Structure 1
Amino acid sequence: MKGIKSRFAIFSACLLLLAGCQNQGSTLPIALLDFIALDYVISLDPDRSAVYFSSVRSVGMEVAYEFGAAPEDGFISTSPSLPVWEVTRRNVQNIFDDRGYTVSVSVPSGNPGDMEEIPSQGKSLWSAADLAALASTYRKKKSDFQNANFFVAFVKGRMANSNVVAITISGVFNLGAPAVFVFKDAINAFPLQYRKSAEQSTVVHELGHAFGLVNNGIPLASGHQDSSHGAHCTNIKCTMYYSIQLGNFNPQNPLVFGDECIRDVRNFRP
Protein backbone atom coordinates (compact mmCIF):
# COMPACT_ATOMS: atom_id res chain seq x y z
CA MET A 1 0.00 0.00 0.00
CA LYS A 2 1.34 3.40 -0.94
CA GLY A 3 2.42 5.46 2.09
CA ILE A 4 0.17 8.30 3.17
CA LYS A 5 2.17 11.14 4.67
CA SER A 6 0.89 12.36 8.01
CA ARG A 7 0.30 16.05 8.59
CA PHE A 8 1.93 15.55 11.97
CA ALA A 9 5.66 15.31 12.48
CA ILE A 10 7.14 13.06 15.12
CA PHE A 11 9.30 15.30 17.25
CA SER A 12 11.81 14.20 19.84
CA ALA A 13 13.81 16.35 22.20
CA CYS A 14 16.71 15.02 24.22
CA LEU A 15 17.48 18.08 26.32
CA LEU A 16 20.96 17.83 27.76
CA LEU A 17 22.73 19.96 30.33
CA LEU A 18 26.38 19.25 31.16
CA ALA A 19 27.92 20.88 34.21
CA GLY A 20 31.23 20.44 35.98
CA CYS A 21 32.60 21.21 39.44
CA GLN A 22 35.55 23.35 40.47
CA ASN A 23 38.17 22.76 43.11
CA GLN A 24 39.84 26.03 44.01
CA GLY A 25 42.57 24.23 45.95
CA SER A 26 43.96 22.35 42.95
CA THR A 27 46.72 23.49 40.61
CA LEU A 28 45.01 21.87 37.60
CA PRO A 29 43.35 24.24 35.11
CA ILE A 30 39.67 24.79 35.88
CA ALA A 31 38.62 23.58 32.42
CA LEU A 32 40.44 20.29 32.96
CA LEU A 33 38.90 19.91 36.41
CA ASP A 34 35.47 20.46 34.86
CA PHE A 35 36.17 17.75 32.30
CA ILE A 36 37.35 15.28 34.94
CA ALA A 37 34.30 15.96 37.12
CA LEU A 38 31.94 15.61 34.16
CA ASP A 39 33.57 12.38 33.01
CA TYR A 40 33.17 10.98 36.52
CA VAL A 41 29.48 11.93 36.64
CA ILE A 42 28.82 10.41 33.22
CA SER A 43 30.58 7.19 34.17
CA LEU A 44 28.12 6.80 37.06
CA ASP A 45 25.07 7.37 34.86
CA PRO A 46 23.42 4.16 33.59
CA ASP A 47 21.01 6.04 31.30
CA ARG A 48 23.08 6.45 28.16
CA SER A 49 23.64 4.60 24.91
CA ALA A 50 27.07 3.23 25.90
CA VAL A 51 25.48 1.42 28.86
CA TYR A 52 22.35 0.26 27.02
CA PHE A 53 24.54 -1.52 24.48
CA SER A 54 27.20 -2.97 26.77
CA SER A 55 26.20 -4.04 30.28
CA VAL A 56 22.38 -3.93 30.10
CA ARG A 57 20.73 -7.36 29.97
CA SER A 58 17.06 -6.45 30.38
CA VAL A 59 14.91 -3.65 29.00
CA GLY A 60 11.49 -2.83 30.36
CA MET A 61 8.99 -0.03 30.32
CA GLU A 62 6.24 1.23 32.51
CA VAL A 63 3.28 2.79 30.76
CA ALA A 64 0.93 5.34 32.27
CA TYR A 65 -2.01 7.04 30.64
CA GLU A 66 -4.11 10.01 31.55
CA PHE A 67 -7.80 9.30 32.11
CA GLY A 68 -9.38 9.47 28.65
CA ALA A 69 -6.08 8.88 26.82
CA ALA A 70 -5.68 5.10 27.05
CA PRO A 71 -3.36 3.50 24.46
CA GLU A 72 -4.77 1.37 21.69
CA ASP A 73 -5.25 -2.27 22.70
CA GLY A 74 -6.29 -5.59 21.19
CA PHE A 75 -4.74 -6.70 17.91
CA ILE A 76 -3.33 -4.83 14.94
CA SER A 77 -3.84 -7.94 12.85
CA THR A 78 -5.57 -11.27 13.39
CA SER A 79 -4.01 -12.95 10.37
CA PRO A 80 -1.26 -13.14 11.38
CA SER A 81 -2.14 -12.69 15.05
CA LEU A 82 -0.35 -9.55 16.15
CA PRO A 83 -1.21 -7.96 19.52
CA VAL A 84 -0.73 -4.23 19.56
CA TRP A 85 2.19 -4.07 22.02
CA GLU A 86 3.95 -6.97 20.33
CA VAL A 87 5.07 -4.41 17.75
CA THR A 88 7.07 -2.52 20.34
CA ARG A 89 8.45 -5.70 21.88
CA ARG A 90 9.66 -7.13 18.58
CA ASN A 91 11.27 -3.91 17.47
CA VAL A 92 13.08 -3.32 20.76
CA GLN A 93 14.19 -6.95 20.74
CA ASN A 94 15.49 -6.46 17.20
CA ILE A 95 17.60 -3.54 18.42
CA PHE A 96 19.45 -5.88 20.81
CA ASP A 97 19.81 -8.91 18.53
CA ASP A 98 23.17 -10.14 17.25
CA ARG A 99 25.24 -8.74 20.08
CA GLY A 100 26.70 -12.04 21.33
CA TYR A 101 24.58 -11.99 24.48
CA THR A 102 20.88 -12.06 25.34
CA VAL A 103 18.82 -9.04 26.35
CA SER A 104 15.30 -9.71 27.63
CA VAL A 105 12.63 -7.22 26.64
CA SER A 106 9.34 -6.77 28.48
CA VAL A 107 6.46 -4.54 27.43
CA PRO A 108 2.86 -4.23 28.62
CA SER A 109 0.47 -6.82 27.24
CA GLY A 110 -2.32 -4.27 27.00
CA ASN A 111 -4.34 -5.99 29.71
CA PRO A 112 -5.76 -4.02 32.66
CA GLY A 113 -3.19 -3.78 35.41
CA ASP A 114 -0.23 -3.74 33.00
CA MET A 115 -0.49 0.03 32.73
CA GLU A 116 -1.31 2.74 35.23
CA GLU A 117 -4.24 5.05 34.72
CA ILE A 118 -3.46 8.46 36.17
CA PRO A 119 -5.91 11.29 36.91
CA SER A 120 -6.88 13.76 34.22
CA GLN A 121 -4.26 16.52 34.17
CA GLY A 122 -6.64 19.16 32.79
CA LYS A 123 -4.17 20.43 30.21
CA SER A 124 -4.77 21.28 26.57
CA LEU A 125 -1.17 22.49 26.12
CA TRP A 126 1.98 20.97 27.58
CA SER A 127 5.45 22.43 28.10
CA ALA A 128 8.55 20.28 28.46
CA ALA A 129 8.62 21.19 32.16
CA ASP A 130 5.00 20.04 32.54
CA LEU A 131 5.81 16.67 31.02
CA ALA A 132 8.92 16.27 33.13
CA ALA A 133 6.89 17.00 36.26
CA LEU A 134 4.36 14.33 35.27
CA ALA A 135 7.13 11.76 34.83
CA SER A 136 8.67 12.69 38.17
CA THR A 137 5.29 12.22 39.85
CA TYR A 138 4.24 8.89 38.36
CA ARG A 139 7.42 7.08 37.39
CA LYS A 140 8.20 4.21 39.74
CA LYS A 141 11.19 2.38 38.24
CA LYS A 142 14.79 3.42 37.67
CA SER A 143 17.55 2.06 35.48
CA ASP A 144 20.80 0.53 36.61
CA PHE A 145 23.76 -0.85 34.70
CA GLN A 146 22.06 -4.20 34.03
CA ASN A 147 18.43 -3.08 33.65
CA ALA A 148 17.13 -0.21 31.54
CA ASN A 149 13.61 1.02 32.31
CA PHE A 150 11.74 3.60 30.28
CA PHE A 151 8.63 5.57 31.16
CA VAL A 152 5.98 5.98 28.43
CA ALA A 153 3.02 8.28 29.13
CA PHE A 154 -0.09 8.91 27.02
CA VAL A 155 -1.63 12.32 27.60
CA LYS A 156 -4.43 14.45 26.23
CA GLY A 157 -3.80 17.80 24.58
CA ARG A 158 -0.73 18.73 22.58
CA MET A 159 2.73 20.21 22.91
CA ALA A 160 2.66 24.00 23.15
CA ASN A 161 3.35 25.69 19.80
CA SER A 162 3.61 22.38 17.97
CA ASN A 163 1.55 19.66 16.32
CA VAL A 164 3.97 16.87 17.17
CA VAL A 165 2.66 13.39 17.88
CA ALA A 166 5.17 12.50 20.59
CA ILE A 167 8.27 13.74 22.36
CA THR A 168 11.17 12.20 24.27
CA ILE A 169 12.64 14.22 27.14
CA SER A 170 15.64 13.72 29.40
CA GLY A 171 18.67 15.57 30.62
CA VAL A 172 18.11 19.00 32.13
CA PHE A 173 15.04 17.80 34.01
CA ASN A 174 17.00 15.10 35.86
CA LEU A 175 14.56 12.38 34.77
CA GLY A 176 17.09 9.57 34.59
CA ALA A 177 16.16 7.35 31.68
CA PRO A 178 14.47 9.28 28.86
CA ALA A 179 10.69 9.54 29.20
CA VAL A 180 8.40 9.24 26.18
CA PHE A 181 5.15 11.20 25.91
CA VAL A 182 2.49 10.40 23.29
CA PHE A 183 -0.22 12.97 22.61
CA LYS A 184 -3.38 10.94 22.26
CA ASP A 185 -5.35 13.74 20.61
CA ALA A 186 -2.83 13.68 17.75
CA ILE A 187 -3.12 9.90 17.42
CA ASN A 188 -6.92 10.17 17.35
CA ALA A 189 -6.67 12.54 14.39
CA PHE A 190 -5.47 9.67 12.21
CA PRO A 191 -8.00 7.61 10.23
CA LEU A 192 -9.32 4.82 12.43
CA GLN A 193 -7.77 1.99 10.40
CA TYR A 194 -4.26 3.43 10.97
CA ARG A 195 -4.41 4.37 14.64
CA LYS A 196 -3.02 1.18 16.17
CA SER A 197 -0.08 0.88 13.79
CA ALA A 198 0.61 4.64 13.89
CA GLU A 199 0.60 4.68 17.68
CA GLN A 200 2.94 1.72 17.95
CA SER A 201 5.25 3.10 15.28
CA THR A 202 5.34 6.34 17.29
CA VAL A 203 6.28 4.53 20.50
CA VAL A 204 9.02 2.60 18.68
CA HIS A 205 10.27 5.83 17.08
CA GLU A 206 10.57 7.58 20.43
CA LEU A 207 12.28 4.60 22.04
CA GLY A 208 14.70 4.69 19.13
CA HIS A 209 15.63 8.22 20.16
CA ALA A 210 15.89 7.13 23.79
CA PHE A 211 18.40 4.43 22.79
CA GLY A 212 20.48 6.93 20.78
CA LEU A 213 19.15 7.08 17.22
CA VAL A 214 19.80 8.88 14.88
CA ASN A 215 23.38 9.99 15.68
CA ASN A 216 22.13 10.90 19.15
CA GLY A 217 24.42 8.63 21.15
CA ILE A 218 24.83 5.83 18.61
CA PRO A 219 27.31 6.91 15.90
CA LEU A 220 26.32 6.71 12.24
CA ALA A 221 27.56 3.74 10.25
CA SER A 222 26.47 5.47 7.03
CA GLY A 223 25.31 8.91 5.97
CA HIS A 224 21.56 8.64 6.63
CA GLN A 225 20.88 11.40 9.14
CA ASP A 226 18.29 13.95 8.02
CA SER A 227 20.13 16.88 9.54
CA SER A 228 17.41 19.33 8.52
CA HIS A 229 15.08 17.50 10.91
CA GLY A 230 17.58 16.73 13.66
CA ALA A 231 18.06 13.16 14.88
CA HIS A 232 16.00 11.54 12.13
CA CYS A 233 16.60 9.17 9.22
CA THR A 234 16.50 9.98 5.52
CA ASN A 235 14.88 6.58 4.75
CA ILE A 236 11.17 7.30 4.31
CA LYS A 237 10.37 3.66 5.14
CA CYS A 238 12.21 3.77 8.47
CA THR A 239 10.30 4.55 11.65
CA MET A 240 13.03 7.10 12.46
CA TYR A 241 11.90 9.24 9.52
CA TYR A 242 10.66 12.58 10.84
CA SER A 243 6.98 12.07 9.95
CA ILE A 244 4.62 9.11 10.07
CA GLN A 245 3.99 7.32 6.79
CA LEU A 246 0.66 5.71 7.52
CA GLY A 247 0.66 3.13 4.75
CA ASN A 248 4.13 1.73 5.46
CA PHE A 249 3.26 -0.70 8.26
CA ASN A 250 3.15 -4.38 7.28
CA PRO A 251 1.76 -6.80 9.91
CA GLN A 252 3.51 -9.66 8.10
CA ASN A 253 6.81 -7.99 9.02
CA PRO A 254 6.27 -5.50 11.87
CA LEU A 255 9.96 -4.54 12.17
CA VAL A 256 9.92 -0.82 11.42
CA PHE A 257 13.55 0.30 11.85
CA GLY A 258 15.26 0.78 8.50
CA ASP A 259 18.39 -1.11 7.53
CA GLU A 260 20.50 2.01 8.05
CA CYS A 261 19.47 2.45 11.68
CA ILE A 262 19.86 -1.26 12.41
CA ARG A 263 23.34 -1.11 10.91
CA ASP A 264 24.19 1.79 13.24
CA VAL A 265 23.14 -0.32 16.23
CA ARG A 266 24.91 -3.48 15.07
CA ASN A 267 28.16 -1.53 14.59
CA PHE A 268 27.92 0.20 17.97
CA ARG A 269 30.22 -1.70 20.36
CA PRO A 270 31.01 0.63 23.25
Structure 2
Amino acid sequence: MKKIALYALCSFGLLISCSKDADISSSDSTINIDKSGNRLSTGASARNLLSNDTFDKLLIEIDYVTGFAPTAGAIANFEEFLRARTYKESIELKYTALSSPNEETLTLEEVVDLEKENRNEYNNGSTLAIHIYFADAPADSDDESEGLVTLGAVYRNTSMVIYESTVKKIANSSTSVSTEEVETATLLHEFGHLFGLVNLSTQSVNEHEDTESDNHCNVDGCLMRSELEFGSSLLKQMEKNASKGLASIPDLGPECILDLQKYGGR
Protein backbone atom coordinates (compact mmCIF):
# COMPACT_ATOMS: atom_id res chain seq x y z
CA MET A 1 0.00 0.00 0.00
CA LYS A 2 1.38 3.40 -0.90
CA LYS A 3 2.44 5.86 1.74
CA ILE A 4 0.04 8.70 2.30
CA ALA A 5 0.65 11.40 -0.28
CA LEU A 6 -1.02 14.75 -0.54
CA TYR A 7 -1.48 16.27 -3.97
CA ALA A 8 -2.77 19.67 -4.91
CA LEU A 9 -5.80 20.49 -6.99
CA CYS A 10 -5.44 24.14 -6.27
CA SER A 11 -3.65 26.71 -4.16
CA PHE A 12 -4.52 30.14 -2.86
CA GLY A 13 -2.76 28.79 -2.61
CA LEU A 14 -5.77 26.67 -1.86
CA LEU A 15 -5.01 23.02 -1.98
CA ILE A 16 -7.40 20.13 -2.41
CA SER A 17 -5.45 17.26 -0.97
CA CYS A 18 -5.78 13.98 -2.75
CA SER A 19 -4.36 11.48 -0.30
CA LYS A 20 -4.97 8.15 -1.86
CA ASP A 21 -3.89 5.07 0.07
CA ALA A 22 -3.84 5.36 3.84
CA ASP A 23 -0.81 3.45 5.14
CA ILE A 24 -2.83 2.42 8.15
CA SER A 25 -3.71 -1.02 9.43
CA SER A 26 -7.35 -2.07 9.60
CA SER A 27 -7.34 -4.55 12.45
CA ASP A 28 -10.80 -3.73 13.79
CA SER A 29 -13.57 -6.17 12.97
CA THR A 30 -17.29 -6.43 13.48
CA ILE A 31 -19.04 -9.78 13.63
CA ASN A 32 -20.95 -10.67 10.45
CA ILE A 33 -19.79 -7.58 8.53
CA ASP A 34 -17.29 -8.14 5.75
CA LYS A 35 -15.35 -4.90 5.39
CA SER A 36 -12.64 -6.20 3.08
CA GLY A 37 -14.31 -4.82 -0.04
CA ASN A 38 -14.14 -1.33 1.46
CA ARG A 39 -10.52 -1.58 2.54
CA LEU A 40 -8.83 -1.59 -0.87
CA SER A 41 -6.52 0.93 -2.50
CA THR A 42 -7.94 4.11 -3.99
CA GLY A 43 -9.28 3.54 -7.49
CA ALA A 44 -9.59 -0.22 -7.03
CA SER A 45 -13.40 0.01 -7.19
CA ALA A 46 -13.50 2.15 -10.32
CA ARG A 47 -15.38 -0.41 -12.42
CA ASN A 48 -17.73 -1.27 -9.57
CA LEU A 49 -18.58 2.40 -9.08
CA LEU A 50 -19.06 3.14 -12.76
CA SER A 51 -20.86 0.07 -14.07
CA ASN A 52 -23.65 -2.23 -12.89
CA ASP A 53 -21.67 -5.41 -13.52
CA THR A 54 -21.38 -6.30 -9.82
CA PHE A 55 -23.17 -3.54 -7.91
CA ASP A 56 -26.33 -1.84 -9.21
CA LYS A 57 -26.97 0.34 -6.14
CA LEU A 58 -24.81 3.05 -4.58
CA LEU A 59 -25.27 3.81 -0.88
CA ILE A 60 -23.52 6.97 0.27
CA GLU A 61 -23.15 7.39 4.01
CA ILE A 62 -22.60 11.04 4.91
CA ASP A 63 -21.37 11.52 8.47
CA TYR A 64 -21.00 15.14 9.52
CA VAL A 65 -20.14 17.00 12.67
CA THR A 66 -23.20 18.90 13.86
CA GLY A 67 -23.14 22.33 12.28
CA PHE A 68 -20.92 21.22 9.41
CA ALA A 69 -23.35 19.37 7.15
CA PRO A 70 -22.94 19.82 3.40
CA THR A 71 -25.33 22.14 1.61
CA ALA A 72 -28.34 20.56 -0.09
CA GLY A 73 -27.28 22.17 -3.36
CA ALA A 74 -23.82 20.59 -3.31
CA ILE A 75 -25.26 17.15 -2.64
CA ALA A 76 -27.76 17.60 -5.47
CA ASN A 77 -24.89 18.57 -7.80
CA PHE A 78 -22.90 15.59 -6.56
CA GLU A 79 -25.75 13.17 -7.24
CA GLU A 80 -26.26 14.68 -10.69
CA PHE A 81 -22.56 14.11 -11.42
CA LEU A 82 -22.80 10.47 -10.34
CA ARG A 83 -25.83 9.84 -12.53
CA ALA A 84 -24.14 11.55 -15.49
CA ARG A 85 -20.90 9.54 -15.26
CA THR A 86 -22.01 6.15 -13.90
CA TYR A 87 -24.74 3.71 -14.82
CA LYS A 88 -26.09 3.61 -11.28
CA GLU A 89 -29.83 4.32 -11.29
CA SER A 90 -30.30 3.55 -7.60
CA ILE A 91 -28.43 6.04 -5.39
CA GLU A 92 -29.30 6.37 -1.72
CA LEU A 93 -27.87 8.89 0.74
CA LYS A 94 -27.88 8.39 4.50
CA TYR A 95 -26.99 11.25 6.86
CA THR A 96 -25.76 11.01 10.43
CA ALA A 97 -24.98 13.98 12.68
CA LEU A 98 -22.00 13.33 14.96
CA SER A 99 -20.51 15.12 17.91
CA SER A 100 -17.22 16.92 17.40
CA PRO A 101 -14.02 14.97 18.11
CA ASN A 102 -12.80 18.24 19.66
CA GLU A 103 -9.54 18.33 17.75
CA GLU A 104 -7.84 21.52 16.59
CA THR A 105 -6.60 19.70 13.48
CA LEU A 106 -6.99 16.21 12.06
CA THR A 107 -4.33 13.88 10.71
CA LEU A 108 -5.44 11.41 8.07
CA GLU A 109 -4.81 8.65 10.60
CA GLU A 110 -7.31 10.32 12.93
CA VAL A 111 -9.81 10.56 10.09
CA VAL A 112 -9.43 6.83 9.51
CA ASP A 113 -10.03 6.21 13.22
CA LEU A 114 -13.19 8.33 13.06
CA GLU A 115 -14.41 6.23 10.15
CA LYS A 116 -13.75 3.03 12.09
CA GLU A 117 -15.74 4.42 15.00
CA ASN A 118 -18.68 5.85 13.09
CA ARG A 119 -19.07 4.12 9.72
CA ASN A 120 -22.15 1.91 9.53
CA GLU A 121 -22.50 1.03 5.84
CA TYR A 122 -20.34 -1.45 3.96
CA ASN A 123 -20.78 -3.35 0.71
CA ASN A 124 -23.72 -5.73 0.97
CA GLY A 125 -25.02 -7.90 -1.85
CA SER A 126 -25.44 -5.69 -4.93
CA THR A 127 -25.03 -2.47 -2.92
CA LEU A 128 -21.73 -0.60 -2.99
CA ALA A 129 -21.21 1.66 0.03
CA ILE A 130 -19.26 4.92 0.20
CA HIS A 131 -18.33 6.83 3.36
CA ILE A 132 -17.87 10.63 3.41
CA TYR A 133 -16.95 12.45 6.62
CA PHE A 134 -17.51 16.22 6.88
CA ALA A 135 -15.08 17.48 9.50
CA ASP A 136 -15.20 20.52 11.76
CA ALA A 137 -11.40 20.77 11.99
CA PRO A 138 -8.79 21.48 9.31
CA ALA A 139 -6.15 19.06 8.13
CA ASP A 140 -2.97 19.01 10.17
CA SER A 141 -0.99 19.38 6.92
CA ASP A 142 -2.32 22.91 6.34
CA ASP A 143 0.30 25.65 6.21
CA GLU A 144 -1.52 28.94 6.51
CA SER A 145 1.76 30.87 6.54
CA GLU A 146 2.19 29.64 2.96
CA GLY A 147 -1.50 30.00 2.19
CA LEU A 148 -1.93 26.26 1.63
CA VAL A 149 -5.04 24.59 3.01
CA THR A 150 -6.61 21.20 2.39
CA LEU A 151 -10.26 20.99 1.31
CA GLY A 152 -10.69 17.24 0.92
CA ALA A 153 -8.90 13.92 0.65
CA VAL A 154 -9.61 10.36 -0.43
CA TYR A 155 -8.10 7.24 1.08
CA ARG A 156 -8.86 3.63 0.27
CA ASN A 157 -11.43 2.76 -2.37
CA THR A 158 -14.66 4.00 -0.75
CA SER A 159 -13.57 6.61 1.78
CA MET A 160 -13.42 10.39 1.66
CA VAL A 161 -13.08 13.33 4.05
CA ILE A 162 -14.20 16.89 3.39
CA TYR A 163 -12.69 19.56 5.65
CA GLU A 164 -15.92 21.52 5.84
CA SER A 165 -14.63 24.18 8.21
CA THR A 166 -11.94 25.02 5.66
CA VAL A 167 -14.42 24.91 2.77
CA LYS A 168 -16.63 27.44 4.55
CA LYS A 169 -13.68 29.65 5.41
CA ILE A 170 -12.32 29.96 1.90
CA ALA A 171 -15.79 30.29 0.34
CA ASN A 172 -16.52 33.17 2.73
CA SER A 173 -13.43 34.93 1.39
CA SER A 174 -15.07 35.23 -2.04
CA THR A 175 -17.88 37.53 -3.11
CA SER A 176 -18.75 35.53 -6.22
CA VAL A 177 -18.24 31.86 -5.28
CA SER A 178 -20.49 30.18 -2.72
CA THR A 179 -19.92 27.44 -0.17
CA GLU A 180 -22.13 25.21 -2.31
CA GLU A 181 -19.84 25.66 -5.30
CA VAL A 182 -16.62 25.01 -3.36
CA GLU A 183 -18.21 21.92 -1.77
CA THR A 184 -19.32 20.68 -5.18
CA ALA A 185 -15.89 21.14 -6.76
CA THR A 186 -14.24 19.34 -3.85
CA LEU A 187 -16.68 16.41 -3.85
CA LEU A 188 -16.46 15.95 -7.61
CA HIS A 189 -12.67 16.15 -7.74
CA GLU A 190 -12.19 13.71 -4.89
CA PHE A 191 -14.77 11.28 -6.29
CA GLY A 192 -12.88 11.45 -9.57
CA HIS A 193 -10.00 9.83 -7.71
CA LEU A 194 -12.32 7.10 -6.41
CA PHE A 195 -13.17 6.56 -10.09
CA GLY A 196 -9.45 5.84 -10.60
CA LEU A 197 -8.49 9.18 -12.12
CA VAL A 198 -5.70 9.60 -13.09
CA ASN A 199 -3.90 6.21 -13.26
CA LEU A 200 -5.03 5.27 -9.75
CA SER A 201 -5.36 1.48 -9.82
CA THR A 202 -6.35 2.08 -13.45
CA GLN A 203 -4.58 2.79 -16.73
CA SER A 204 -5.51 5.76 -18.89
CA VAL A 205 -6.58 5.28 -22.51
CA ASN A 206 -4.16 8.00 -23.59
CA GLU A 207 -1.33 9.47 -21.56
CA HIS A 208 -2.57 12.65 -19.86
CA GLU A 209 -1.14 12.48 -16.36
CA ASP A 210 0.55 15.63 -15.10
CA THR A 211 4.26 14.87 -14.92
CA GLU A 212 4.64 17.26 -11.99
CA SER A 213 1.65 16.11 -9.95
CA ASP A 214 0.90 12.40 -9.74
CA ASN A 215 -2.64 11.22 -10.51
CA HIS A 216 -3.80 14.53 -11.94
CA CYS A 217 -4.77 15.50 -15.47
CA ASN A 218 -2.73 17.79 -17.73
CA VAL A 219 -5.68 18.85 -19.92
CA ASP A 220 -6.56 22.53 -19.59
CA GLY A 221 -9.71 23.20 -17.63
CA CYS A 222 -10.22 19.60 -16.47
CA LEU A 223 -11.72 18.97 -13.04
CA MET A 224 -8.87 16.56 -12.31
CA ARG A 225 -6.11 19.03 -13.07
CA SER A 226 -3.71 20.16 -10.36
CA GLU A 227 -3.37 23.92 -10.46
CA LEU A 228 -0.71 24.38 -7.79
CA GLU A 229 2.27 24.12 -10.12
CA PHE A 230 0.70 26.52 -12.58
CA GLY A 231 0.32 29.38 -10.14
CA SER A 232 -3.47 29.64 -10.15
CA SER A 233 -6.01 28.43 -7.62
CA LEU A 234 -9.33 26.70 -7.96
CA LEU A 235 -11.05 29.63 -6.28
CA LYS A 236 -9.52 32.13 -8.68
CA GLN A 237 -10.50 29.96 -11.66
CA MET A 238 -14.04 29.63 -10.35
CA GLU A 239 -14.26 33.39 -9.85
CA LYS A 240 -12.89 33.94 -13.35
CA ASN A 241 -15.47 31.59 -14.85
CA ALA A 242 -18.27 33.26 -12.90
CA SER A 243 -17.19 36.70 -14.09
CA LYS A 244 -17.58 35.48 -17.68
CA GLY A 245 -21.01 34.05 -17.04
CA LEU A 246 -19.69 30.49 -17.33
CA ALA A 247 -20.24 27.57 -14.98
CA SER A 248 -17.91 28.20 -12.07
CA ILE A 249 -17.15 24.52 -11.40
CA PRO A 250 -14.70 22.80 -13.77
CA ASP A 251 -15.92 19.72 -15.63
CA LEU A 252 -14.07 16.54 -16.56
CA GLY A 253 -11.96 16.88 -19.67
CA PRO A 254 -12.24 14.56 -22.69
CA GLU A 255 -9.32 12.33 -21.67
CA CYS A 256 -10.72 11.70 -18.20
CA ILE A 257 -14.12 10.91 -19.71
CA LEU A 258 -12.46 8.37 -22.05
CA ASP A 259 -10.88 6.75 -18.99
CA LEU A 260 -14.23 6.51 -17.21
CA GLN A 261 -15.79 4.94 -20.29
CA LYS A 262 -12.97 2.40 -20.42
CA TYR A 263 -13.88 1.22 -16.93
CA GLY A 264 -17.61 1.06 -17.51
CA GLY A 265 -18.79 4.66 -17.08
CA ARG A 266 -20.54 7.12 -19.32
**Normalising to structure 1: TM-score of the pair?**
0.70
Structure 2 CA distance for aligned equivalents of residues 18 and 5 of structure 1: 27
Of residues 194, 199, 209, the one that matches 2:183 is 199
Over the matched positions of the two proteins, sequence identity in percent amounts to: 15
Question: In the alignment, is the contact (CA less than 8 A) between 1:68 and 1:120 conserved in 2?
Answer: no
**Which residue in the other structure is 1:14 paired with?**
20
Of residues 70, 73, 88, the one that matches 1:103 is 88
* 1:37-68 deviation per Cα after TM superposition (whole angstroms, max 9, x unaligned): xxxx98x9796224334422122211111123
**Which residue in the other structure is 2:113 paired with?**
133
Change (3 A) 1:157 1:238: same
Structure 2 CA distance for aligned equivalents of residues 223 and 154 of structure 1: 33
**Which residue in the other structure is 2:31 paired with?**
none
Structure 2, gaps ≥5 residues long: 1-9, 26-35, 143-148, 228-233
Structure 2 CA distance for aligned equivalents of residues 212 and 219 of structure 1: 8
Change (3 A) 1:252 1:121: same
1:256 and 2:242 aligned: no
**Which residue in the other structure is 2:231 paired with?**
none
Structure 1 CA distance for aligned equivalents of residues 97 and 20 of structure 2: 25
Structure-to-structure mapping, 1:35-54, within 5 angstroms: 48-52=45-49, 53=51, 54=53
Question: In the alignment, is the contact (CA less than 8 A) between 2:185 and 2:249 conserved in 1?
Answer: no
**Which residue in the other structure is 1:72 paired with?**
71
How far does residue 154 in structure 1 lie from its aligned partner after superposition?
0.8
Structure 1 CA distance for aligned equivalents of residues 133 and 56 of structure 2: 24
Aligned residue type for 1:55 = T
**Which residue in the other structure is 1:167 paired with?**
153
Question: In the alignment, is the contact (CA less than 8 A) between 1:167 and 1:181 conserved in 2?
Answer: yes
Of residues 111, 132, 138, the one that matches 1:158 is 138
Structure-to-structure mapping, 1:179-194, within 5 angstroms: 179-188=159-168, 189-190=170-171, 191=174, 193-194=176-177
- Across the aligned residues of Structure 1 and Structure 2, the Cα RMSD in angstroms comes to 3.2
Aligned residue type for 1:116 = T
Structure 2 CA distance for aligned equivalents of residues 216 and 94 of structure 1: 21
Of residues 233, 236, 240, the one that matches 2:224 is 240
How far does residue 265 in structure 1 lie from its aligned partner after superposition?
0.9
1:124 and 2:104 aligned: yes
Of residues 204, 212, 235, the one that matches 1:220 is 204
Of residues 70, 75, 82, the one that matches 1:92 is 82
Question: In the alignment, is the contact (CA less than 8 A) between 1:225 and 1:231 conserved in 2?
Answer: yes
Structure 2 CA distance for aligned equivalents of residues 60 and 253 of structure 1: 28
How far does residue 256 in structure 1 lie from its aligned partner after superposition?
2.3
Structure 2 CA distance for aligned equivalents of residues 256 and 149 of structure 1: 24
Structure 2 CA distance for aligned equivalents of residues 45 and 179 of structure 1: 10
Residue 84 of structure 2 aligns to a residue whose secondary structure is: helix
Structure 2 CA distance for aligned equivalents of residues 254 and 12 of structure 1: 18
Structure-to-structure mapping, 1:137-148, within 5 angstroms: 137-144=117-124, 146-148=126-128
Residue 14 of structure 2 aligns to a residue whose secondary structure is: strand
Aligned residue type for 2:200 = N
Structure 2 CA distance for aligned equivalents of residues 158 and 253 of structure 1: 24
Aligned residue type for 2:223 = T
Structure 2 CA distance for aligned equivalents of residues 128 and 12 of structure 1: 11
* 1:67-86 deviation per Cα after TM superposition (whole angstroms, max 9, x unaligned): 2322223xxxxxxxxx4322
Structure showing greater Rg = 1
Structure 1, gaps ≥5 residues long: 20-40, 74-82, 97-101, 109-113, 171-176
Change (3 A) 1:145 1:257: farther
Question: In the alignment, is the contact (CA less than 8 A) between 1:51 and 1:145 conserved in 2?
Answer: no
